[in-house]
Structure 1
Amino acid sequence: MTDTPASRDEPETPDPAEPTPKGVFADSMAAAARRAGFSPAAEGEPISGHALLAAMGGIRGLVEAVLPGLVFLVTYTLTRDLIPSLVAPIVIGVVMAGLRVAARQTVTQAVGGLVGIGISAVLALLSGKAEDFYLSGFWINGVYGGALVISIIVGWPLIGLAVGFLVGDGVNWRSDPSKRRVLSLLTGLWAGLFLLRLAVELPLYYAGNVAWLGATKLLMGIPLYAPLLIVSWLMVRSVYRPSTPSVGEAEL
């Protein structure tokens, strides 16, 4: 049996079960986030401050991020001896990782922090300069800030991708002008945080002022991070409002 002209000209109907490129991309992002320990909100559920905080490590994660640097700064300020100042934060990192293992919690963040502490300690030990303990942080801020700026330029703001997964929206926010504008602005604010840290801390590093460098890193850590997290939550809620039932549905 031969095809008629009409059948030859008829466009092929896509298989609904076949994933689209956008769906494959969103599923890949979701799978990667799940492997990293992120928990998405249920479909239609508005993102909450608790969800944002949990997605970024929770209170314990914030403590694990701050405490080693604080211990290093205090120890070096009191002793002016590099070796005990490097050993102390490593011990703290091992203890925090051990506590997570004992509690049968995810150790990814603690182990990552411990690796970061180890790299910082090695850099300072190799150079013999206490300020090099903070050297890896400059690279991290530079990479994060640069990646966020580039993501805005190419039209895929990274904060939008993260929020899209957390609220179950995938990448649909890109077709909504208000969501895209807010999420692009948020990405710019986070990029500004990382780049501001570099602008303030690098001169202190080159001046070899360890005390002020360590104190500035602490002040530009949680005290800036937490308010920006709250602002992010409020801005996300402004474009992801919980759906309200219609009058007819409310009467049922």
Structure 2
Amino acid sequence: MTVPERPEPGSAENDPAQPTVAQLAEGYAAKAGLHRSSNGNIDVLKSAGGVQGIAESILPGLVFLIAFTITRELQLALVAALGTAAVFTVSRLIQRKPLTQALAGIVGVGLSAWLANSTGKAEDFYVIGFLTNIGYILAMSLSIAVRWPVAGLLFGLIRNEGLEWRKNPARMKAYRIGTWVIISVMVLRLLVQVPLYLLGEPGLAGLATTRLLMGAPLYILGVWVAWLLTRPAPEPVAEPN
């Protein structure tokens, strides 16, 4: 049995002030919205922002739909949606939690409200979401074209593969497939929701409903499938002599 060498004094592994590769990977993945569970797998619920994060992504749109359906007053519905997003931001301030997701949410809701108010069309509340999806699709497709697939950058870090996976054609192929899975989630959203948007106000209820169902739940499913598809092949077990 080979005894692992001890790190030299003053090396990064021996210096508590120097983060390890695993810590750097964890931090980068966390900033990208991905988290690792205690068993080494991806924590999809936490990656979606946890229960509070999912609520922050769902409730403003749901409140907008309910308020508009009941009152048929666009501005009142927009104010209700903005108020809901603001409540989440204040809640994070009180809880002293990171504001990144809440601020991104309220900015997104604010832009959506501004656009819908400018055009006077309730369905335009969802246009910003379409543009965001298109942006992600283009960025992820470009990452595949330049041989830096997003799934590899994120999952590879969580798995402590670093960037070594880029030297392995099989791992590169797996992470390309994983990235295509995530892209397919966003393409599916557009294929379902854009026709409902084009129906105008008659399609608003269907658009809002599919927006909720194809938001966090579908994202969680897509990330989990991509994670499973990109698992490294198990190393062969050495036969006893």
Shorter chain as denominator, the TM-score bin is 0.7 to 0.9
Deviation at 1:87?
0.9
**Structure 2 residue 156 is matched with structure 1 residue 167:** no
Deviation at 1:217?
1.1
Amino acid at match of 1:233: W
| Percent identity for Structure 1 against Structure 2 | 37
Residues 1-252 of structure 1 aligned to structure 2 (within 5 Å): 33=28, 36=31, 47-50=40-43, 52-208=44-200, 209-236=203-230, 238-239=231-232
Q: Deviations over 1:211-234 (max 9, x none)?
A: 111112112223322322332332
Counterpart of 1:13?
none
Q: Deviations over 1:44-83 (max 9, x none)?
A: x874232x44344223212211111111111111221101
Greater relative contact order structure (CA < 8 Å, 6+ sep): 1
Counterpart of 1:22?
none
Deviation at 1:246?
8.4
Query: Aligned in 2, Cα 1:246/1:59: closer, same or farther, shift over 3 Å?
Result: farther
Measured in 2, the distance between the counterparts of 1:55 and 1:227 equals 11
Measured in 2, the distance between the counterparts of 1:198 and 1:98 equals 32
Secondary structure of 1:54's partner? helix
In structure 2, the gaps of 5 or more residues are 1-10, 12-20
Q: Deviations over 1:21-56 (max 9, x none)?
A: xxxxx9xx96993793757769xx874232x44344
In structure 1, the gaps of 5 or more residues are 1-16, 18-25
Q: Deviations over 1:115-173 (max 9, x none)?
A: 00000000001111101100100100101111111211221111111112223322111
Deviation at 1:178?
2.7
Deviation at 1:91?
0.9
Query: Aligned in 2, Cα 1:145/1:39: closer, same or farther, shift over 3 Å?
Result: closer
Measured in 2, the distance between the counterparts of 1:53 and 1:169 equals 23
**Bigger CA radius of gyration:** 1
Whether the 8 Å contact between 2:112 and 2:124 is mirrored in structure 1 is yes
TM-score normalised by structure 2 residue count: 0.78
Measured in 2, the distance between the counterparts of 1:201 and 1:39 equals 26
Deviation at 1:180?
1.7
Whether the 8 Å contact between 2:174 and 2:229 is mirrored in structure 1 is yes
Measured in 2, the distance between the counterparts of 1:58 and 1:84 equals 29
Query: Aligned in 2, Cα 1:247/1:96: closer, same or farther, shift over 3 Å?
Result: farther
Secondary structure of 2:223's partner? helix
Deviation at 1:175?
1.4
Measured in 2, the distance between the counterparts of 1:80 and 1:240 equals 56
Deviation at 1:99?
1.1
Poorly superposed stretches of 4+, deviation over 6 Å: 243-248
Measured in 2, the distance between the counterparts of 1:79 and 1:66 equals 20
Number of equivalent positions: 218
Query: Aligned in 2, Cα 1:171/1:240: closer, same or farther, shift over 3 Å?
Result: farther
